[in-house]
A and B are shown apart, each in its own frame.
Chain A
Amino acid sequence: MSGKQQSELLLEVSDIHVYYGAIHAIKGISFDVRPGEIVALIGANGAGKSTTLNTIAGLLKPRSGSIRFKGENVTGTPASRMVFKGLALCPEGRRIFQQMTVKENLEMGAFSRPNTEIASAMEDVFTRFPRLKEREKQVAGTLSGGEQQMLAMGRALMGKPDLLMLDEPSMGLAPILVEQIFAIIGELHAAGTTILLVEQNAQMALSVADRAYVLETGTIGMSGQAAELLNDDAVRKAYLGH
C-alpha cells in the first residue's frame, strides 16, 4: 500500500514553457513531487521560481507542456478550479486580505470546503499558529510581517490541500522569524503535508527539504537530494555564498 503511494506522483510537471507576452520565462522544465515530500525550488531572482508556482496554481497558462496533479491532467485549469482539486498556493508577498479580519481571511481560505468543515479546520490552524487565535478579530492589515506570513500560511491550510505550495515564505522577515517559519514548515511536513517550496534563502530551503531543483533563467540546472545539494560546491558557491 505505502509502496504504491510512494511510486505515485502527486505532481508531475513535464516540459512546460511559459511566456509573459514575448518574454520566454520558463523554457521547458520538468520535475515532480511525491506524496509526503518537501521539494524545494531554489535559484536566483528572476530564475522563474514564482512563475513556475503560478503556472501550476493556474494563474498562468503554459504555452506547451503538461501538468498532472493526482494523476489527472490539469494543464490550463483556472486557479479557482485548482483549489477544489486540492492545491493551495501561499503566494509571494503573502497577499492576505488586508481589510478583512484574521478570522475572515481564514474563512476565505476554506472557500472550497463545505461550511461544516470550517470550524474544525480553523481549530487546527489556531493550534498550529496560536498567535492568530490571539489576533482573531483584528484587521489583517494591522498585523506584523511575521504574523501576516503565518496568516497567509494558515489561510492556505484552511482548504486542507493535498499539496501546499509556499512562495518565498521568508521574504522580508527578520532572521528570528525566518527560523520560526521554517520550524513550522518542518512541523507541517512531520504531520504529513506535502509541500512545494520556493525560496531565495537556499540555505534554509535545503535544510528543510527532501529534494530540490535549482532553477537557472527558466531551466533546471541541477537537482537531487537536498542534503547532497547543500554540500555541492557549485551550489554552495552560487546560492549559499560560501
Chain B
Amino acid sequence: MAFLSSLVNGLSLGSIYAIIALGYTMVYGIAKMLNFAHGDVIMVGAYIAFCGAQYWGLPPVLCVLCAMAVCTVLGVTIERLAYRPLRQATSLAVLITAIGMSYLLQNLALQIWGANPKSFPTDLIAFPNLSLFSGQLKVSGVTVVTVLANLVIMVALTFFTGKTKMGKAMRCVSEDRGAAELMGINVNRTISMTFAIGSALAAIAGVLLCTAYPTLQPTTGSMPGIKAFTAAVFGGIGSIPGAMVGGLLLGIIEILSRAYISTELADAIVFAVLIVVLLVRPTGLLGKQVREKV
C-alpha cells in the first residue's frame, strides 16, 4: 500500500510537471526557442492566486482565472518585447535573453512580494479526499484535481492541435515557418497564441504546485521549471504527448527514489535517468525523427 501511495504521489507531481512541460514543448516546437522564464511565470501565477485569496477576497475559481489572465498577458508581453525582436538572431542570444527574463521576473517578485515565504492557502482547491481500499490508501483532493486537470488539458490540447484551424496552423508553423506564411498563416500571431496558451497553463500549474507544496517565494518556479524542462526533453521536446509521458515518468521516478532510495539523491537520480534516456534515444522517448525526402 505504501508503494501504491507513493505511486499516486508521483502521478500527482508528474501531472504538475507535465502541465509545465507543455509550455516548454509548445513554445520550443513553434517558436524554436527555450523559454527559460517559463518557470517564473508559474511563480507569478501562484502569487496572483495568493493575492486573490488573501488580499482581494476572491472566490477560488476567480483566483485561478485571475492568475491565468495575468500570466497570459505576461507571457504574450514577454514574447512581444523580449523575444520577437530577436526572431532573426542566433539561438544563443535568445537563450541568454530568456535566462535574463527569468531573473528579471524573480527580482520583480522580490520587489513586489518580498523575500519572506508566503504560505499558500491550501484550501484554494476544495475537493474531498478519497479513501480507497477500506481506508488503506488515502488520496488527497488536490491530487485528484491535479491528475484530472492534467487529463482535461491533454485531451483539450490534442483536440485543439488536431482538429481546429488555429491548432493546425500551429503545427504548420512548427514544421515550416516559410511554408506556413505561404498558406496565409500569420506566424507572429501564431507564436503569440502559443505563449498565451503555455502561460495560462503555467498559472494552473502554479496554483496546483503551491496547493500541494504550500511555500511560495520568488524562486518557487525555478526548480519545478527546470524539472519540467527536463521532462519535456525526456519525452521528446516539441511533442505534446511526449510532455505528458515525460512529466508523469519524471514525477513517479522522483517520488519513488525519494521513498525507496534516498531523499537527498532523488534529484540526482532523476537527471541520471534523463542522461541515460538521451544516450539511447537522443530525440527523447516520443521525439520525432524526421527523415527528409528529396
Contacts and interface: CB of A to CB of B under 8 A. Distances in A.
Contact of A111 (B183, B288, B293): B183
B171 A109 contact: no
B293 A95 contact: no
Interface string A60-80: 000000000000000000111
B178 interface: yes
Given A98-B290, A141-B290, A112 B175 contact: no
A59 interface: yes
Contacts of A59: 178, 181-182
Given A99-B171, A145-B293, A109 B183 contact: yes
B184 A83 contact: yes
B182 to A, nearest CB: 5
A154 interface: no
A177 B175 CA distance: 27
A141 B176 CA distance: 13
Contacts of B169: 108, 111
Most chain A CB within 10 A, of B175, B178, B182, B184, is at B182
A97 B175 contact: yes
Interface string B185-202: 111000000000000000
Given A108-B168, A141-B290, A95 B179 contact: yes
Nearest to B291: A141
Contacts of B180: 108
A84 B180 CA distance: 13
Contact of B184 (A96, A98, A107, A159): A159
Interface string B140-184: 000000000000000000000000010011011001101111111
Contacts of B184: 80-81, 83-84, 111-112, 159
A84 B293 CA distance: 30
A43 interface: no
B294 interface: yes
Given A97-B171, A98-B175, A145-B294, A112 B183 contact: yes
Contacts of B176: 95, 97
Contacts of B187: 80
A59 B180 CA distance: 11
A104 B165 CA distance: 10
A79 B182 contact: yes
A104 B175 CA distance: 13
A208 interface: no
For the side of the interface on B, what is the size category?
20 to 34
A184 to B, nearest CB: 20
Contacts of A98: 175, 290, 292-293
Interface in A119-178: 141, 143, 145, 148, 155, 159, 172
Nearest to A152: B179
A99 B181 contact: no
Interface in B65-113: none
Nearest to B181: A79
B171 A100 contact: yes
Interface in A78-104: 78-81, 83-84, 88-89, 91, 95-100, 104
Contact of A91 (B165, B178, B291, B292): B178
A229 interface: no
B93 to A, nearest CB: 18
A166 to B, nearest CB: 12
Contacts of A100: 168, 171-172, 175
A115 interface: yes
A109 B179 CA distance: 10
Nearest to A93: B294
Nearest to B169: A111
A99 B179 contact: no
A236 to B, nearest CB: 30
A78 B181 contact: yes
A83 B178 CA distance: 13
Shortest beta-carbon contacts, A-B, top 9:
A83-B184, A112-B184, A79-B181, A95-B179, A111-B183, A111-B184, A80-B186, A108-B183, A80-B181
Interface of A: 57-59, 78-81, 83-84, 88-89, 91, 95-100, 104, 107-109, 111-112, 115, 141, 143, 145, 148, 155, 159, 172
Given A96-B179, A97-B171, 19 more contacts: A57-B182, A58-B181, A79-B178, A79-B181, A80-B184, A80-B186, A84-B184, A89-B182, A91-B182, A95-B182, A97-B176, A98-B292, A107-B168, A108-B169, A108-B185, A111-B169, A115-B165, A145-B293, A155-B183
9 contacts: A57-B182, A79-B178, A83-B182, A97-B171, A98-B293, A104-B168, A108-B185, A141-B291, A145-B294
